[in-house]
Structure 1
Amino acid sequence: MGFMVEDLLRTEECREMKLICGEQGLKNEIKGVTIIEAPDIVKFINGGELLLTGLYAFKSCSIEEFQNYLQELRKKEISCLVIKKGRLVEHADRKIELLREYACKNGIPLLDVPFDMSFQRVLAIVMEHLFNEEVTLLKYFKTTHDNFTALTLGNIRSENLTRPILEMLEKLIRNPVALYNQNRTCFESTAEDRSDLVFLDNLEDYDPDVLTNYQYWRQKGEQNQYVIRIHMSVGVQMYLVVTEKTPPFTKMDCIAIENAIVALQYEFSRQFAIEELEKKFQNDILNNILNGKVSSDAEMEKSANLLQMDKNGSYRVIVFGVKNEGRAAKNVNDRLMHISCLEEAVRHRFSDMKLHREIDKIVAVRKADLNATQADYRKEMREMIEQVQTEMRYQNKNLSVRAGVGKIVTGLGQLPESYKEAEDALSFIDIGGDISGDGNASVMMFSDFGIFKLLCQLDEPKILMEYIPESLQRLLSYKKPQQEDLIATLKAYLKNNQNLSKTAQELYVHYKTAAYRIEKIAKITGMDFDNANEMLAVRIGLVVCKMIENYNKK
């Protein structure tokens, strides 16, 4: 689209110019023009200029100084050199030869202009074309700006304009465009392909050649993709992607994109304000229902209608949380951001659920299928967690999504019971893993706690200590460096049905080491490993220890 060296040579006024060398650079774009009046002009060159010289600025410099000048000039990536011969210059032939070598080596056209043709005329020709291009760009900017402004400000019905904005952008640049959220999941697209955005290994910075506040990248696959990272005014990061299918990506496209981004930011701010009002309204209503603050039947009927829920329907509560498997986020803003990402992921994947957000968790109310078995629902919940985890994988690889699930209740008035169970299930999910044998469980149904459901109702560590047998208490009181190893060995030994070989394999220790530790545990505690009742009590005691540990953390 720009004014190139070959375009200059086609103009009527410049037909007498002769190409000395550097024909491979005839398509170099001319972005400016400068007459070399002094050698230090190189300090003020930005790149892409056409340089005019009669070598008079170098009339007295030595060959070595001239070579140093060319060395500095090489860093600037100029578009073309125009030389006029005939001035009295020391070592003129040698300096012209050096210019020729420089031009050939760097693919820069070296042009010879007739002596009677003034540099001012060449300068005027170039500037005229550059100014014409700038005027064209300004007119295009105004046209696209007016189109997007008319679209966004003329939205009388308050419909979501994200897709219309993308469709208008596609018409302008004649290539498909898509918008992805911060988890790189497709938010909206003008093409049928709505797969996740994947950053390739060849992703590189791209200079759009326009004034911009956004980061542009380019990656090469079956078609080139241009990725623009956008920070929406509502604090959300998104990616606008252009796939270069037909016409090549140009500066004009970047101008259209810049205006489309402004329109998207305006639209997201408007939608955000509307959604926040709706969310707060829904959040307050759900909060009252979940915490048993709706007293009258008439108020419950009204709340159900506002939430578009069946007052007498069957529901269950799911409480989602995030655990940082790496370094725990000490910054409150980081934790809030993690919960925001979790909410967005759950809302995006499961639009049928009613959500209530709290500082450290997301509470979801979901319609229950009374015909599904516990096994079916357990499988469905695991798949749900996997989908949400996939949605969040780009935020932080250490973030682990977890969920506690309450029982099915009939009627919105019974939701507090399911909510309490879901909270307890999430609170004791680590313990749940020990109970079920799943290890690090990602989802726990309160009904799977069995007898431990009773212990979950206790919130006094002193009372819980009564459920730890004396023999295990002796081991817990054994304040020596080996204590942690002994407790870990006891857990593994009981988990593996008192099989020493499997215990040693799980702990990555020698068989004799495992046997020695079990003997030492028996000596310290007096445990009778052949007594089934005592071993059951110890198993329960180990779980209770973890419950006490959780309470102390709270």
Structure 2
Amino acid sequence: MKLISDNSGINREIRGVRIIVAPNMENFLGGGELLLTSLPAYEKLDDHMMVSHLNELNKKQISGFIVKRKQNTAHLNKLFETLVCFCEEHNIPVLELPQDISYWLVIKYVLSQICSNIVVAKFIYSKLTRDEISQYFAGRAIREKAIEKLICGLETMLGNPVALYDAQFHNMYSSTSEPIELKILKDSPKYVPNIITQLEYIRQKRNNVEYIKEIDIFGQSKYYLLISEINEPLMELDFITLEGAVSALLYFLIQNETVKSIEKKYHRDLEYRMLNGSLSESEKEDVANLLDLNATDEYRVITFYLKSGNNKENFSAEQRKETKIVEKAVLKFLPKEYIFCNTNRIIYIHKENKKKENGNFEESWKNFKKKRKIN
């Protein structure tokens, strides 16, 4: 950083640090803060309105500005000149931050210097990061776009690349153009940071130290958040950032799973109606198109159910739970095309592949029955 104003106010006491996110930032300050900005909050203001807000900030006895010039437009250049002139007139120091240094690196450093203990720093940093994360989900943000923005924002806040993977370790979102391949090493130790929620991570070392957070959605699906220490080691304050990020991800991933579950149930209902003959001819054609079933293809339908020795146990919650377990087992051994549960019954629609020998399907089915002891 370099000082770009005169040094007359360089000895002002720093009592806090904030990123300017709104023109009326003075309404959110306690006084004595060091303010970080690239001036986007003032972009829609003219000089007179900006000076009005700067006067209000000065009344809060702010300690100074750290600025980053991201856009080189005529209007922003004019606002930048207005800021520097105002600060020199009122003895407020202005420092310029290089483009490759994150505001969050500055915030972490400042908090470590001004806070009486790490507990206070953690509390303040938690508030700042949660406010930042909440912006990605403001209004009617589209889930996919919000998650993508969050993953990219996390890289800026943590100073390291971040990626999200599904249960099969397929990359869904990444803060880099070339995502790191996820692989969880055997016997990797658990790591619990010294913060309030104490989320548990997997810590492992491949090319770099990696932290992996498993995100479980109601026991139905799993996701993995990967942070790689490529640029700098994570510190306790970084895990506070992750604490808020995981909560936000959980919220949106639950929404995703709910939508997928509703769609899956809808498709299964249509499949069942097609198989039991309750659709008209015109409805069959519509449903077949929706389910991507081709009239010229050949299909096999396999149906089986769990029979209880006690009639009272039929259709019970325990039996439905066991049926779900069997359904998951079927998906491990057989092609994942069309399979669904109907109370205590599992129905599987298998599409014949002309390019492969039918024996492949027969062999897979026999292996499944043998391992699961199905007659």
TM-score, length-scaled by structure 1: 0.38
Q: Which residue of 2 aligns with 1:266?
A: 251
Deviation at 1:237, TM superposition (A): 4.3
Q: Is the 8 A contact 1:234 1:272 kept in 2?
A: no
Which of the pair has the greater relative contact order for Cα pairs under 8 Å at 6+ separation?
A: 2
How far apart, in 2, do the equivalents of 1:297 and 1:163 lie?
43
1:300 to 281, 284, 288: 284
Q: Which residue of 2 aligns with 1:338?
A: 325
How far apart, in 1, do the equivalents of 2:222 and 2:182 lie?
15
Relative to total residues, which structure has the larger helix share, 1 or 2?
1
User: What letter matches 2:232 in structure 1?
Assistant: P
Aligned-partner SS, 2:116: helix
2:197 to 195, 207, 212: 212
How far apart, in 1, do the equivalents of 2:199 and 2:288 lie?
44
Which structure 1 residue ranges, 5 or more long, are not aligned? 1-126, 324-330, 386-401, 405-424, 431-439, 443-545
Q: Which residue of 2 aligns with 1:499?
A: none
Q: Is the 8 A contact 2:327 2:346 kept in 1?
A: no
Q: Does 1:168 align with 2:153?
A: yes
Deviation at 1:163, TM superposition (A): 3.8
How far apart, in 1, do the equivalents of 2:117 and 2:252 lie?
34
Q: Which residue of 2 aligns with 1:8?
A: none
Q: Which residue of 2 aligns with 1:179?
A: 164
Deviation at 1:215, TM superposition (A): 1.5
User: What letter matches 1:259 in structure 2?
Assistant: G
2:297 to 306, 311, 314: 314
Judged with a 3 Å threshold, the aligned counterparts in structure 2 of structure 1 residues 337 and 309 are, in CA distance, closer, same or farther, namely: closer
1:499-518 maps to which residues of 2 (within 5 A)?
none
Q: Does 1:356 align with 2:318?
A: no
Judged with a 3 Å threshold, the aligned counterparts in structure 2 of structure 1 residues 344 and 266 are, in CA distance, closer, same or farther, namely: farther
1:80-91 maps to which residues of 2 (within 5 A)?
none
Aligned residues with identical type, % of pairs:
22
Q: Over alpha carbons, which structure has the higher Rg?
A: 1
Alignment deviations for residues 400-441 of structure 1 (CA, whole Å, 9 cap, x no partner): xx537xxxxxxxxxxxxxxxxxxxx97xx55xxxxxxxxx7x
Judged with a 3 Å threshold, the aligned counterparts in structure 2 of structure 1 residues 276 and 232 are, in CA distance, closer, same or farther, namely: closer
How far apart, in 2, do the equivalents of 1:251 and 1:267 lie?
25
1:145-544 maps to which residues of 2 (within 5 A)?
145-157=130-142, 159=144, 161-181=146-166, 185-186=169-170, 188-190=172-174, 192-193=178-179, 195-201=181-187, 203-232=188-217, 236-294=221-279, 296-310=280-294, 312-317=295-300, 319=302, 332=319, 335-336=322-323, 338-339=325-326, 341-342=328-329, 353-358=337-342, 359=344, 361=346, 363-366=348-351, 368-370=352-354, 372=355, 375=357, 377-379=358-360, 381=361, 403=365, 429-430=369-370
Deviation at 1:158, TM superposition (A): 5.1
1:61-80 maps to which residues of 2 (within 5 A)?
none
Deviation at 1:230, TM superposition (A): 3.0
Deviation at 1:305, TM superposition (A): 3.8
Deviation at 1:363, TM superposition (A): 2.0
1:100-115 maps to which residues of 2 (within 5 A)?
none
Deviation at 1:344, TM superposition (A): 7.4
Deviation at 1:160, TM superposition (A): 6.5
When the two chains are superposed, the root-mean-square deviation of aligned CA atoms in Å is 4.2
Q: Is the 8 A contact 1:177 1:240 kept in 2?
A: yes
Which structure 2 residue ranges, 5 or more long, are not aligned? 1-111, 307-317
How far apart, in 2, do the equivalents of 1:195 and 1:226 lie?
13
Q: Is the 8 A contact 1:229 1:239 kept in 2?
A: yes
User: What letter matches 2:252 in structure 1?
Assistant: E
Deviation at 1:261, TM superposition (A): 0.7
Alignment deviations for residues 446-483 of structure 1 (CA, whole Å, 9 cap, x no partner): xxxxxxxxxxxxxxxxxxxxxxxxxxxxxxxxxxxxxx
How far apart, in 1, do the equivalents of 2:239 and 2:258 lie?
29
Q: Is the 8 A contact 1:186 1:194 kept in 2?
A: no
